[in-house]
Structure 1
Amino acid sequence: MAIDTNKQPIIIKKVFKSGGHHGGAWKIAFADFATAMMAFFMLLWILGSTTKEQKAAISEYFNNPSAFDGVSASPSQNEGEGTGSKPAIIQFDGAVDMAPEAPQPTTLDQEQLEEMAAAQDQERLESLKELLEKALEQSETLIPYKEQLLIDIVSEGLRIQIVDKENRSMFDSGSTQLKSYTAAILKELGTMINQVPNRISLTGHTDARPLARGGFSNWELSTERANSARRALLAGGMQEGKIGRVVGFADTVPFDQSDPNNPINRRISIIVMNKKTDATIHEETTIEKELAKPKSP
């Protein structure tokens, strides 16, 4: 049989692939990298948010982990052995760590406590002053008389003065009866004074004009007017226990010292006392009560 030499041989090539697809080894490596970075940033955050004592506690734990479990690494660290002492327990973010005993904060002495109390008291009176000044601009009762309401901070506390004005007095001439608008002013003030725990001192003042009534001087008039103001404050809802003192000064403490007869000298002064002034009044009252007691034979 003849062979056809012009015919090319057929070559079949087979390619075998091994290992399948590329796989996920890179994902594992990336996850390890992300975990390491997260741990690194957590470490930076912890170092930045801990105190010096807490860092010392962490350092002690890694230097001597057995102490954290209650087992000392050496006899010198056991309680009652050698020269060492049992490590102190320090609270750290809800966990218990072991560290050398840290110095305890010093307690405040009596003077520091009194200074803190005085600062809080002053802040409270400043807030009440702001409340009263705001009411003078917004209250329908107080706005018409805001020129007759003088508010300031003095050494005794917060002072509120209701002064007479020409042709607009708080009382009828020589009388202890409050005008209707004066009573309304005092009632509204009583509500606001109630917002602080401080007690008040009430003083009445007159001008230097003598009274025509015999046996009833400016001393009685100023005292009775202060007492009328007390009743109006209580009618406005102020607690009775807030009254610390009610006195009359007659014309001895004029507002306008250059003109003793100036109507502005006729006034009611309400002092929301600070704690120091209140304590002084309380001490004076206690001494007076002791002196008033009958002496035993």
Structure 2
Amino acid sequence: MADEGLRPIIVKRIKKGGGGHHGGAWKIAYADFVTAMMAFFLLMWLLGSTTKGDLNGISEFFKTPLKVAMQGGSGSGDSSSVIPGGGKDLTRKDGQVKGGDDPATTKKTFNLTAAKQAMEREETQRLQGLKERLQQKIENSPALQKFKNQLLLDFTSEGLRIQIVDEQNRPMFPSAKAELAGYTREILQEIGPILNDVPNKIGLSGHTDATPYFSENGYSNWELSADRANASRRALVQGGMQDNKVMRVVGLGSAVNLDRKDPFNPINRRISIIVMNKKTEEGLMRDAGKLEIGTGDGAAQEATQEAAPPVPLARQ
């Protein structure tokens, strides 16, 4: 029994494992980090060795790559390169338009300003041609040649202006009347058919000098100038001009003198025929036929003339 008290005490210690193998996940993370650093240093090297022009081209491409691909238009890409946005010169503004560059699906654009300017140039040439034909008619027609000093041709902001003016000893109308003199009717009937050569509309205005004229019923230079303009319209139509070409008939009295220094000068008594340009026609349509004295019948040009009437056609 005494031996049982001396029995040795045995302590068992269990050794746990050292964790075993942790795997290679850290290697993948390290490889990703090294790859990212290589890409970063490669990017820095490219930025440092690329010219400013190439950098601008790259920047422009990445700003609107989808817009060029979806809608077409100018882009910084160059279709000669297999890399979108690449090419020999990235500063070029004209590059790829659409994937495949199909001409049938390429978006077309129109320059309205250039088209309008082209139409204006064409109209100017047309009116210039009409002026030359009128000059030839005046020179070659025995009926008009003797009246060439009373026929004035020039251009205003409204179009081609044809003026028939009085001379001291050769008035267009009897005093204070709207009846055309024989030679005036002859001139208008000779001019009428030539005006059909152009599609432009026509405006007529009558002018008197500053000699006061009143009647008991209030008839004045205003009514007289309007009646003379309308009488001229009838003579043009009788000569062969189409009646639907007339867009405006007005009387301006003595408000717009050709000779501002001498308002009583016979040259102020005249009939003006305006072959209107498109801009003037559109302005009249917008204004519902309203006339502003400041712009009507080339009045702006006439008002600035200091006793310097247009030079008549030279005698041969």
- Structure 2 distance, partners of 1:258, 1:116, is 40
Distance change (3 Å), C-alpha of 1:125 and 1:173: same
Aligned with 1:250 (options 249, 253, 260): 253
1:233-274 deviation per Cα after TM superposition (whole angstroms, max 9, x unaligned):
000111111101000000000000000000000000000000
The 5-angstrom pairing of residues 54-203 of structure 1 reads: 107-203=109-205
Query: Whose Rg is larger?
Result: 2
- Do the aligned residues in 1 keep the contact of 2:258 with 2:268 (CA within 8 Å)? yes
Report the residue type matching 2:144 in the other structure.
L
CA separation in 1, counterparts of 2:238 and 2:164?
A: 17
For 2:276, the aligned partner's letter is M
TM-score when scaled to structure 2? 0.58
Structure with greater proportional strand content: 1
Q: Distance in 1 between matches of 2:169 and 2:105?
A: 70
- How many angstroms apart in 1 are the aligned matches of 2:255 and 2:182? 27
CA shift, 1:134, in A, is: 1.1
TM-score by length of 1: 0.61
Aligned-residue identity in percent: 48
1:86 Cα offset (Å):
6.6
Deviations 1:194-222 (A, max 9, x none): 11000011000000001152311000000
Q: Which residue of 1 aligns with 2:287?
A: 284
- Given residue 175 of structure 1, which amino acid in structure 2 is its aligned partner? K
- 1:276 is aligned with what amino acid? K
Alpha-carbon distance between aligned partners in 2 of 1:153 and 1:246, rounded to the nearest angstrom? 19
d(CA) in 2 for partners of 1:287 and 1:173? 30
Counterpart CA distance in 2 for 1:122 and 1:110 is 18
Structure 1's 162 and 102: CA in aligned 2 closer, same or farther, altered over 3 A?
same
Aligned equivalents of 1:146 and 1:287: distance in 2? 33
Partner residue of 1:22? none
Are 2:230 and 1:227 equivalent residues in the alignment? yes
RMSD across aligned positions (CA): 2.4
Determine the C-alpha separation between the residues in 2 that align with 1:188 and 1:87: 59
CA distance in 2, matches of 1:278, 1:243: 11
Confirm whether residue 209 of structure 1 aligns to residue 208 of structure 2.
Answer: no
Give the total of aligned pairs: 194
Which consecutive residues of structure 1, in runs of 5 or more, have no partner in the other structure?
1-84, 89-100, 289-297
**Which amino acid in the other structure matches residue 210 of structure 1?**
P
CA–CA distance in structure 2, aligned partners of residues 159 and 286 of structure 1: 19
How far residue 149 of structure 1 moved from its aligned partner, in angstroms, is: 0.2
Letter in 2 for 1:226: A
Rounded to whole Å, the distance in 2 between the matches of 1:286 and 1:212 is: 28
Distance 1:286 1:268 in 2: 20
C-alpha contact 2:214 2:221 (8 A) present in aligned 1? no
